[in-house]
Amino acid sequence: MKKLLRLFAMLFHIALFAAIALFILYSRFQPVSYTPASYAESNATLDNPFCGFLHLYGFLLSEEDPESMTMRCRQYINTNSRQLMLAEVNLKNYADADLSETALQQLDNILSEINASRKQVILRFLYDWDDKALETEPKEISRIVSHMDQVAAIVNQYADSILLIQSTFTGNCGEMTQTRFGSHEHNRYLMTHLAEVTDPSIFLAVRTPSHLRGITESKSPITAETAFNGSLASRLGLFNDGMLGSVYDLGTYDDTSFADSTSPEEKGTREEEIAFQEYLCQYVPNGGEVVIDNPYNDFENAIVDLRRMHVSYLNYDHQTEVMEKWEASTYEGDDCFQGMNGLDYIEAHLGYRYVIADSVFTYDAMKSDDASFSITIENTGFAPSYRDFDGMITLRDTATDILISIPVEMDVRTIQAESKTSFAFSLAVRALPEGTYEISFGLTDPYTGCSIQFANDTADENGLVPLGTLTVLPTSECAAWDDFLKALFTYFGA
């Protein structure tokens, strides 16, 4: 009889411990389900910062009342619906002198107005608008260096609004040609100094790949490992004001190969130079003007080269004949842009164009309190973004409309053109009250404060893209488990 009682007691304790183990497992278990949204690209033209078509505005610094410059800049801004603008600042009145306090105040007023409007600007400082640089630019290179020092003190205050500075201040129309300071030694000296005195977040740009290689003294473009580190090489991009103008892009390329040349500054053929840009401009901006109606800027040919060169911006006003030709063309692809006119197609693809392509939710309640959540972003634009944006996941409780916003760490500059990149985050599921949540994702530009528009056909007016629906069920459906646990503790405490 005693053996039977001992066996019964042992079995009871085994059952008791099993019940406790089951309860512990049950308390860890949390039923969660996730249903992804549908993801498809629309053909909408997006209005995002630091890319797209732009207008060019000229400012001649002088002894004129600085407020008149303020009013002129304000008028330009008020009549310009585009986010990005190109401001050419002409310094020819001071070719033989330092910039006056009045001239510097004019520059400050220009950049202040642009900054206040949350526009973005590309700057080009020059001494000529009339192909007479040899007559209007300083006679001594030291004067240009002095002007760089002076303008940099103001420019750096508005670094957030400045995408890049074009040129070394020299040449006809600031294009680094027809100047007494056009050697590679001069270009290297001037651009190195400009990089030293300007904020590292501001990109710089030169007219041709040959200029760039002569300055960096390297035939190899930067790599992902050296990109965005603030060095001159990591900041130096291109502006091509002869883009698609001929087989040579009006002197940008040559008819001989540089493949076997030992000199970095030698020009290569069109194919070689475009291949160079295809790699380089994954990390630094490229843009300019299309010129001269010819087969190289026929729509079908143009989109191939614009895509390979990773073009972020183009001057909308130059050249009208080419713009009209693109508008009269039709995109014949088999995607959502089929039937769109060529001008709208190109505008939709200048720079970055983000589409949420996928999301994946993984949760093992027995191993962790957090779920693994990843989103895949596709960039269907011609170029990446060269500025980083702030990411945010938003959960909306469908029953209460309460929003939970979760900042996420990511670097969108890694999303290359015509590629997909996945970003993984942790989501504290166990901290969420039971309910159904609609999950969305958005990006915000820290400078403008504006939401980055996605090309998904489900994106809302605030830039948020629905990712999917998360349902969190209660961990226990029966209060008796609590009573049972109390009874167990009472028993063992007796």
The full set of domain ranges for the chain reads 2-28+477-493, 32-45+353-472, 52-349
Check residue 274 and give its pLDDT.
98
Check residue 473 and give its pLDDT.
87
Tokens 């008149």 locate to 68
Check residue 461 and give its pLDDT.
86
* Alpha helices (H) along 79-183: 101-116, 133-136, 141-155
Which SS3 state, helix, strand or coil, does residue 156 take? helix
The count of residues in the chain is 494
Q: Which tokens sit at 331?
A: 């995109």
* Alpha helices (H) along 254-386: 270-280, 299-308, 320-327, 342-349
CA distances for 297 relative to 46, 269, 315, 319, 479, angstroms: 23, 17, 14, 11, 73
Please give the Cα distance from 284 to 304 (Å, whole number).
Answer: 19
Check residue 492 and give its pLDDT.
47
Radius of gyration of the chain (CA): 30
For domain 32-45+353-472, say whether CATH 1.10.10.60 is its number. no
- pTM of the prediction? 0.90
The CA dihedral of 242, 248, 254, 259, to the nearest 10 degrees, is 100
386, 312 in Cβ contact below 8 A?
A: yes
CA distances for 81 relative to 55, 151, 200, 323, 342, angstroms: 10, 27, 29, 18, 21
For domain 52-349, say whether CATH 3.40.1130 is its number. no
Please give the Cα distance from 196 to 191 (Å, whole number).
Answer: 9
In tens digits, what is the pLDDT along the chain, a chain of 494 residues? 566 656 665 665 565 454 444 444 444 456 899 999 999 999 999 999 999 999 999 999 999 999 999 999 999 999 999 999 999 999 999 999 999 999 999 999 999 999 999 999 999 999 999 999 999 999 999 999 999 999 999 999 999 999 999 999 999 999 999 999 999 999 999 999 999 999 999 999 999 999 999 999 999 999 999 999 999 999 999 999 999 999 999 999 999 998 777 799 999 999 999 999 999 999 999 999 999 999 999 999 999 999 999 999 999 998 999 999 999 999 999 999 999 999 999 999 999 999 999 999 999 987 888 999 999 999 999 999 999 999 999 999 999 999 999 999 999 999 999 999 999 999 999 899 999 999 999 999 999 999 999 999 999 988 899 999 999 987 554 344 445 445 445 544 54
Dihedral over Cα of 361, 362, 363, 369: its sign? negative
Please give the Cα distance from 174 to 182 (Å, whole number).
Answer: 11
Dihedral over Cα of 312, 83, 190, 137: its sign? positive
Nearest to 369 by CA among 32, 22, 23, 20: 32
